[in-house]
Amino acid sequence: MEAMSTSDASYSNFRELDVRRRRPALLQIEFQRRWNLRTIYELMRVMDTANADTTVQVVVLSGELSVGPHDPLLLEQGKVKRHRQLPMTKETLAVSGDDAEDRYIHEKSANFVMRSLAKKMLAQRKLLVALVQGRCVGLGLSVCSLCDLVYATEAAVFLPALSHLDPCAQAGPFWTLPHIRWLLHLGEQADARTALHCGLVASVVSESQEFWDRMDQYSRLPPSALMATKRLLLRHWRQSMLTELRQEGTPMAAQGRRLARSKL
């Protein structure tokens, strides 16, 4: 692995992420054991920096991708919002006061942050790749779903989670739709071969070094060739999803979601 030069200082000031160049054109972003809001903010900052860095051609996400139901970004969608729309009942009284308001604010802020991250990942101009070597759970799967390519080792396990999904897909945030897609395809749990068969994983590698050898080869391609490859890899729903995400935060979109919930 090549040492970072002084010109790479913008990739060194992170607390929750380990960001380093493996080669001049190959950037690795490694997640630590515990995700929090700062993790997402730092990831968005790396996305912006890599987008503006003309020397970077390939960005790889690796490390801890198991973000389960107890992570601090848990989105308890639907329940609190619907309580705020419906007449007071015994059920709604049980979720009232400061606690309900705190949960409501948490939900709104978490959705805003994840919508912002999804837009940055979908608009990333570099080849964006995820490497899954262990458990890929919940929010980790959502992040992988937004990458151009996902690779996995034989030890990888994918567990879609319902914890951050709205029971009504029409009312839920748009960034969760890829996760719903893989939840339907993969079921409760899938190994690397099942994920490969379902199309989530592009290739299963026998060991991580095989993956890095491939990324090294990709990073040596001419930028125009790599970008042509990226355009061919784009899933058909990506552009429409990016458009919807850009519209989702508007007052008109918010009103539409309120109307959808009021009909449930």
**Residue that has been written with the tokens 């592009």 in this structure:** 202
- 144: nearest Cα among 173, 186, 104: 186
Task: Tell me which DSSP letter residue 175 carries.
Answer: G
The per-residue pLDDT for range 150-176, each reduced to its tens digit, is: 999 999 999 887 765 655 555 566 777
Q: 0.75 cut: is pTM over it?
A: yes
Joined tokens for residue 247: 């519209």
CATH number, domain 6-262: 3.90.226.10
Cβ atoms within 10 Å of 72's Cβ, excluding its own: 13
| Percent of residues, the chain, with pLDDT higher than 70 | 68
204 alpha-carbon distance from chain centroid: 20
Taking every pair of Cα atoms in the chain, the longest distance, rounded to a whole number of angstroms, is 64
Identity of the amino acid at 142: S
Residue 148 has pLDDT above 80, yes or no: yes
pLDDT for 31-77, tens place per residue? 987 888 888 999 999 999 999 999 999 999 999 998 865 555 555 44
Mean pLDDT, rounded, for 94-123: 73
pLDDT of residue 51: 92
